[in-house]
Amino acid sequence: MTHQVALTIITKIKPGETEDIKRLLKAMSSNVAQNDVIPFGKFSTIHFARLMVLEESRDLKGVVIPPSLVFIGECDAPLDRLLHELVDLAGEGLDKIYCHCEGYPTEGEITHARRLAYLRAGMIKVPAFYVNTVGRTVEQILQEAQLRDAIQDFLDDSQQDWSGHSSLDVRAKIQAYVCNKQTLSWARKLPAQPSLSFKLKETLHLVGVPLLLLVLLPVLILALPIWLLLLRIHELSDTARDIKPDAAHVQELAALEDFGAQNQFSAIGYIKPGWFRLLIVLGVFMAIDYGVRHIFNKEDLAGVKTIHFARWIVIDGYRRAIFASNYDGSLESYMDDFIDKIAWGLNASFSNGVDYPRTNWLIFDGAKDEQAFKNYIRVHQIPTQVWYSAYDRLTALNIANNARIRLGLFRNMSETEAEEWLRLL
Amino acid sequence: MADTLDLQDIQGLIIRSYGNLRAACYILLEISDPRLAKMWLSTLANVITNGQARPEEKALNVAFTNSGIKRLGLEPAEYGFSDEFITGIATAHRSLLLGDIEESSPARWIWGGPGTKQIDMVLMMFAKDDHELSDMYEAYAKEFADNNGLVEVLKLDTVDLGDKEHFGFNDGISQPVIEGSGRTASSMHTIKAGEFLLGYPNEYGLYTDRPMLKPAMDPEGLLPHDSSGSGDKDLGRNGSYLVFRQLRQDVRGFWQFLDQATKKSDGSSDPTASVKLAAQMVGRWRSGAPLLETPERDDPRPQLVKANDFTYYQTDPYGFKCPIGAHIRRANPRDSLDPQPGTEQSIAIGKRHRILRRGREYGPPVDTAGRTQGHAAMGGDKPTPLQDEDRGLHFLCLNANISRQFEFIQHTWVNNPHFNGLYDDADPIVGAHYADGSMFTIQAKPVRKRLTDLPRFVSVVGGAYFFMPGIRAIRYLASV
């Protein structure tokens, strides 16, 4: 199956063992792909993965939330196969991690099935999951990068001066080169598509949600003025303190950033108290879910083309929300994209968090308060202790371009079309 | 509505480059005795060149580092100085972000690095000629020697190459114009004052964070009130952040690389081709004429040499005239930014990432006439051999938000191997050419040309982030 799924496992850390886990994670992070705990590079269906500790925290009423460990993966379906692989290839590594968590079987009683059951028990649902391009697998991304590299090297190595040639001629030479390379034989076929059952499910969702809304329309219309009134009351009375991030906190986060083309982002925050905000959160997550599945499902999240994956989840009995993403470039450019291009979307989802910059009518202002927004982001960001990318030298734009090179390689083309195709190189 | 610029309070270098004052030097200083230094500073405040009138003879400006502000008695972290300024240019993470690694690593810097002497302030001197400048410097050197609480750490000299930089290109053509400064430019280059001056609205219509004090800390009423209305005293107003980087240029390596890369099939050099390749890497010809207007050959007509109102995406979306990765196309992408390249919206996004450049060259120029083919004489008459002395650019730029302006440009555009859909191409001229960034792609029909394994031509040998206060703020700092 070629569509993507979101793995999220959250487990409570045993009292006093947070530092042990952090030490282990730190050791893993020095060689994420090949470490001996979970060698992420051995899993052919993992795009990105991360492990991070949620420190002990006090909720808005002062109730203590004990520390927990979050394991996140962005993977190719089916999820169940990955869980099996994890236990098969990294069973003992999982023991090393999860022996510090509540409820993990003790040493004598560990079995394959119990490990699997533990992971399953810790899994939580992801209400909204953005995938840059639905259906593009790790294998496809790596293969297409290999194809582009091979074509580029061919163009360099052939020592040809191509300037006198027609586009169709250059293209024919490239095709001949690819045909001659056994390792690129897969490129003669088109990439695999998501399964029929997946497509059917998505189509049902595409049509079903608007139909349901249509049925509910009379109720919604009646509720709208009340909802707007309540929204304004909340927006005008909610606190919106501009809290500066602590210098040591920023330093800790920055030390984990900008090693390559991509970066990770993880943030957590309390949802504003009361049923009204919670209702908005759930509604907005449903809207995001619909948007990313049916509208923003190919290379572009409402104008932002640098995000590989993003997810929104609710934890701790609807008290806190987590946002986690993988993006290209620096945090500064990421935040600027948020402000310049999709402030409305950020506002709708994040403004239900405590002390988000003041919004108007849910989608206006908010993130447009540049520095207050950037402060909010840094204050709520948490360190991602372990982070893995299967293709850390490729940006989302590179991946999209590679896919286009492959799609057009053996298609029939006119001279003009061939000229356009060669521009991808 | 932007209020009018308070030119009397703004240091002159923010308003103008002093192009008529051809000689300049920068004195890096340590404050050894804050009490004496403050007395000296309060006198200095009277002679600092402000932004009102263009100086004809000489000019003097001053800026402080984080440690300098501290020595004067204010703890920057407590009063709202920016995080970049407080932590400084040489932190491990910032080095990654700015590409200051390997030979450019702060550990190897001759100033501003972890192993060099502390820099508290910089005194910038400009004069109409070398003679005047040396008189000016001698006078101050005497004052430093006279126990005024200041120690000269390093004197950085500059050299006058006309409008050229060391590689032989006309430089400094494209500059933003500060809205309200009285100068005019097209809307693309007219930028809100708050992007360069603290205490004024920026391109978001907001006030950039800046140092602010409670009124009780300013009993003498030296500082202006916060114009955004908080009631606090504005220590930042009319000030700016100054990024100072000493960039060493490997002129010989640059032209040797070009010579090699453009050798004819019989092994002989092709000077015309190597100059053209250099121009493709820069995005302008040596005269300054942009490739976008004249892609095939240099054209030194005045209207082309100063041409700056062009856009990229509208005229050259695929980089056939000016390569996508050319230095000037990435240092200011104009209308090429997502989500809608070629539109006003794209230009508006770019306007949030502009800097005022105020750099000057240093080190003896290399006259390669008769030696390295492809690089014609830069003015000297007799051919002299290539010299190995240090030469380069004292890169100075001013901005209100170092993170969103200078650092963003450096990381997201200039040094980014993936800029605008590229893969492995950092800036061909100033970029860090390591594993991921050592290629240069020249888009062409029917298919691109590509250069691989570009060496690094420009390295960083020193640097610091400074705060350049308004003149009232200098008086305040002298009174703390």
Instruction: Say yes or no for a CB contact (<8 Å) between A305 and B338.
Output: yes
Global pTM reads 0.95
**Which residues of B fall within a CB distance of 8 Å from A329?**
411-412, 416
Instruction: Say yes or no for a CB contact (<8 Å) between B446 and A305.
Output: no
Residue A388 lies in a domain: no
pLDDT at B7: 96
Answer yes or no: do A252 and A317 share one domain: yes
- Within the 281-340 window of chain B, which residues sit less than 8 Å (CB to CB) from chain A? 318, 338-340
Element (H, E) at A204: helix A196-237
Mean pLDDT of chain A: 95
Q: Looking at the 3D structure of chain A, how many domains does it have?
A: 3
Q: How far apart are CA A68 and CA B295, in angstroms?
A: 60
Instruction: Say yes or no for a CB contact (<8 Å) between B446 and A163.
Output: yes
Answer yes or no: do A32 and A168 share one domain: no
Answer yes or no: do A304 and A404 share one domain: no
What residues have CB less than 8 Å from B268, skipping those under 6 apart? none
pLDDT at B3: 67
Segment A220-239 mean pLDDT: 95
- Measure A217 CA to nearest chain B CA, in Å: 34
Answer yes or no: do A122 and A254 share one domain: no
- Which pLDDT band, with edges at 50, 70 and 90, does A163 fall under? confident
Instruction: Say yes or no for a CB contact (<8 Å) between B447 and A336.
Output: no
Three-class DSSP labels, chain B: CCCCCCCCCCEHHHHCCCCCCCEEEEEEEEECCHHHHHHHHHHHCCCCCECCCCCCCEEEEEEECHHHHHHCCCCHHHCCCCHHHHHCCCCHHHHHHHCCCHHHCHHHCCECCCCCCCCCEEEEEEECCHHHHHHHHHHHHHHHHCCCCEEEEEEEECCCCCCECCCCCECCCCCCEECCCCCCCCHHHEECHHHCCCCCECCCCCECCCCEECHHHCCCCCCCECCCCCCCEECCCCCEEEEEEEEEECHHHHHHHHHHHCCCCCCCCCHHHHHHHHHHHHCECCCCCECCCCCCCCCCCHHHHCCCCCCCCCCCCCCCCCCCCCHHHHHCCCCCCCCCCCCHHHHHHHCCCCCEECCEEECCCCCCCCCCCCCCCCCCCCCCCCCCCCCEEEEEEEECCCHHHHHHHHHHHHCCCCHHHCCCECCCCCCCCCCCCECEEECCCCCCEEECCCCCCEEEEEEEEEEECCHHHHHHHHHC
Answer yes or no: do A256 and A157 share one domain: no
Q: Is residue A187 a contact partner of residue A406, using CB atoms and an 8 Å limit?
A: yes
What residues have CB less than 8 Å from A1, skipping those under 6 apart? A76, A77, A78, A194, A195, A198
Q: Is the pLDDT of residue A205 over 50?
A: yes
Q: Is residue B355 a contact partner of residue B397, using CB atoms and an 8 Å limit?
A: yes
Q: How far apart are CA B156 and CA B259, in angstroms?
A: 32
- Within the 10-49 window of chain B, which residues sit less than 8 Å (CB to CB) from chain A? none
Residue A392 lies in a domain: no
Q: Is residue B387 a contact partner of residue B365, using CB atoms and an 8 Å limit?
A: no
Segment A176-181 mean pLDDT: 96
Answer yes or no: do A156 and A96 share one domain: no
Answer yes or no: do A83 and A172 share one domain: no
pLDDT at B433: 82
> What value does the CA radius of gyration of chain A take, rounded to a whole number of Å?
24
Instruction: Say yes or no for a CB contact (<8 Å) between B418 and A397.
Output: yes
Of A131, A163, A178, the last residue of a domain is A131
Answer yes or no: do A118 and A152 share one domain: no
Instruction: Say yes or no for a CB contact (<8 Å) between A155 and B448.
Output: yes
Q: To probe the interface with A, which of B66, B423, B448 has the most A CB atoms within 10 Å?
A: B423
CB atoms within 10 A of CB A104: 20
pLDDT at B388: 58
Domain that holds residue A37: 4-131
| Of B97, B204, B408, Cβ closest to residue A258 | B97
Higher pLDDT, B389 or A174: A174
B475 interfacial to chain A (CB closer than 8 Å): no
pLDDT at B382: 41
B263 interfacial to chain A (CB closer than 8 Å): no
User: What are residue A216's phi and psi, to 5 degrees?
Assistant: -85, -5
- Measure B92 CA to nearest chain A CA, in Å: 8
Q: Which of A55, A45, A48, A63 is nearest to A1 (CA)?
A: A45
User: For the stretch B48-62, what's the b/e string if a residue is b when 16 or more beta carbons lie within 10 angstroms of its beta carbon?
Assistant: bbbbeeebeebbbbb
Answer yes or no: do A341 and A408 share one domain: no
Q: Is the pLDDT of residue A198 over 70?
A: yes
pLDDT at B375: 41
Q: Residue ranges per domain, chain B?
A: 12-245+464-479, 249-354+372-394+420-462
A368 interfacial to chain B (CB closer than 8 Å): yes
Instruction: Say yes or no for a CB contact (<8 Å) between A155 and B450.
Output: yes
**Which residues of A fall within a CB distance of 8 Å from B443?**
423
pLDDT at B370: 33
Residue A82 lies in a domain: yes
For residue A286, give the 3-state DSSP assignment: helix
Token pair in block for residue B96: 């990654």
Which residues in chain B show pLDDT less than 70? 1-3, 367-388
Of A85, A100, A131, the last residue of a domain is A131
Answer yes or no: do A175 and A81 share one domain: no
Residue with tokens 């490997």: B250
Segment A273-301 mean pLDDT: 95
Residue A181 lies in a domain: yes
Instruction: Say yes or no for a CB contact (<8 Å) between B87 and A340.
Output: no
Three-class DSSP labels, B56-72: CCEEEEEEECHHHHHHC
Residue A389 lies in a domain: no
What residues have CB less than 8 Å from A212, skipping those under 6 apart? none
Token pair in block for residue A351: 């403004």
Report pLDDT digits (tens) over B391-418: 999 999 999 999 999 999 999 999 999 9
Instruction: Say yes or no for a CB contact (<8 Å) between B83 and A250.
Output: yes
Answer yes or no: do A148 and A126 share one domain: no
Segment A294-299 mean pLDDT: 95
- Measure A423 CA to nearest chain B CA, in Å: 7
Q: To probe the interface with B, which of A170, A328, A332, A381 has the most B CB atoms within 10 Å?
A: A332
- Which pLDDT band, with edges at 50, 70 and 90, does A160 fall under? confident
pLDDT at B338: 86
Answer yes or no: do A280 and A311 share one domain: yes
Residue A391 lies in a domain: no
Q: To probe the interface with A, which of B324, B447, B449, B452 has the most A CB atoms within 10 Å?
A: B447
**Which residues of A fall within a CB distance of 8 Å from B338?**
303-305, 341
Q: How far apart are CA B367 and CA B168, in angstroms?
A: 10
pLDDT at B397: 98
